[in-house]
A and B are shown apart, each in its own frame.
Chain A
Amino acid sequence: MTRAAASPRLAAHGVGHAYALRTVLAGIDFDLPAGRVAALVGPSGCGKTTLLHLVAGLLPLREGRIESDFATPACVFQQPRLLPWKSALHNIAFGLKAQGVARRERERRAHELGLRVGLAAEDLEKFPHQLSGGMQSRVALARALVMAPDLLLLDEPFSALDVGLKAELYALLAEHLAGRGMAVLMITHDLMEAVRLSDDVLVMAPDPGRIVARFELARPAASRDDAFVYHRTAELLQHAVVRESFGLPPLPAACTTPDGAAAGGLRVVARGGHPPPAHRGLQC
């Protein structure tokens, strides 16, 4: 209890997972303390979503350990996943209702947050099918944020939105994260999204899914401008380990940034190895 009170954290040790005989995750280790934003990036099918489901407790953990001291985790999924028979307001209040918050109180909080994520008061009365895709994403985000979670799990929630909407929701999220001590684990295949929002970028590679590198971004998310994001993303893309993970052809030797050459805030902190031989045998 005392440890949790001091500084809650999420830690994974040697987490692995297999669907039937196909190993999708092997030897995953990471540590996420309160107040930090970690992004898991990797190509499609590298087991990112499986890892998030394990963390959220939606899949039984078979291999390794996941320790979490966070009391109120909240998820935002790839699709908005709104209940079609409930108004936007009641969709936002869904998690609060599950917690047993009284009707009036949860509707007040849902209303307040709905307005803050940019929904109009009359939109809150509408059913999901009457809302645009961007509005639905806002509702889904509000549904998670209204619970004042201490751990936020994001599964590519913005991947289906256009750049303008994305930028708006990034700003919204960044504003919400600032000074709140909330830990965030987000999944994305968009490096720029990772660089814009996160403090740690964990690069994953497929077959089996494993973390092959960790980068730290020193500048706080609130003070990152577009130029910073473009530069760091380009820089990230020049790392051999990142290129290999996404299946990009290697750059000519002269162009690659040597590991550890910290050109203004992007630092390789760790490089994961290859999967242990035992898992190699299971690949098909």
Chain B
Amino acid sequence: MKAAARWLAGLPAYLWSGWGAAASLLLCLALWEWAAGLYGDLILPDPRAALATLAGLFADGSAWPELLVTARRALAGFALALAAGSVLGVAAGLSMTAAMMARPVVTVLIGTPPIAWLVLALLWFGAGDGTPVFTVFVAAFPVVFVGALQGARTVDGQLAELAAAYRVPLPMRLADVYLPHVLSYLFPAWITALGISWKVVVMAELLATSDGVGAALAVSRAHLDTAATLAWILAVVGLLLAVEYLLLEPVKREVERWRGAA
């Protein structure tokens, strides 16, 4: 209740601080417009044409189903990566040996290009939901894992000692001493992982499925429809921005209020 009230109270200031972000986005639009004038409609239609196409896609009802399919796959892979990465990462962080053994494996996972995983996934799962979900999972998992591992490894020994001296029972020790610290590492990792998921899912769909935003992009490419391509890109990026700045960022601010950097 208190948190909700604080969120509402902080909302105007937060939205006001969005002017800076809006200004930089509008500057990008201006650059786009300028480049469109330079190269012509076939290479790069101007922003208004792309937005008009996007509005058309929403109006005739063809945008939402594709976006929902894509979102479902991205979120499924993201949720799996989030759960597995957080749990395994914290577990690995608790043991020095596990942490040392996990390091190179994670480096390999991060270093392997998602497109390589995609090819393997196509062989293993075929053309269905399995392929994009798996590719998203593999791409996002190591990022979450590393965040959780770092969080668990850097728990303050002095606070752990304090908890021991005050005979703090285990559930409270986890909730009050360890979790807030680990979360401060996990949260940024989750946000990064969400961005990765969103990007990778479109790539996977482009090659592996017949529906979703990726598949729609493949179609518009085949039709040499640059305006539709840009419209789909706008839709995907806009959705990611909305989720990150309207949902995750406020949650992060509330959870990390104790840092008081803002």
Q: Which residues of A contact B (CB under 8 A)?
A: 56-58, 74-75, 77, 79, 81, 83-86, 94-95, 97-99, 127-130
Contacts and interface: CB of A to CB of B under 8 A. Distances in A.
Given A127-B258, A129-B258, A129-B260, A83 B177 contact: yes
B168 interface: yes
B209 to A, nearest CB: 43
Nearest to A95: B166
14 contacts: A74-B165, A74-B166, A77-B158, A77-B165, A79-B158, A81-B161, A94-B168, A94-B176, A97-B172, A97-B176, A98-B163, A98-B169, A98-B172, A99-B167
Given A83-B177, A97-B172, A77 B258 contact: no
A75 B165 contact: yes
B215 to A, nearest CB: 45
Contacts of A127: 257-258, 260
Given A58-B161, A74-B166, A79-B158, A84 B172 contact: no
Contacts of A79: 158
Interface residues of B, number: 20
Contacts of A99: 167
Contacts of B188: none
B120 to A, nearest CB: 42
Q: Which 6 A-B pairs have the closest CB atoms?
A: A85-B258, A85-B180, A98-B168, A75-B165, A95-B166, A127-B258
Interface of B: 158-159, 161-169, 172, 176-177, 180-181, 257-260
B163 to A, nearest CB: 8
Contacts, number: 52
A108 to B, nearest CB: 18
Given A77-B158, A83-B176, A58 B165 contact: yes
A85 B260 CA distance: 10
B67 to A, nearest CB: 37
Given A58-B161, A97-B172, A98-B172, A84 B166 contact: no
Contact of A130 (B163, B164, B172, B260): B260
A216 to B, nearest CB: 29
A127 B165 CA distance: 22
B162 A77 contact: yes
B158 A81 contact: yes
Contacts of B257: 127
Contacts of B258: 84-86, 127-129
A81 B172 contact: no
Contacts of A130: 260
A85 B259 CA distance: 7
Nearest to A97: B172
Contacts of A95: 166
Nearest to B167: A98
A94 B166 contact: yes
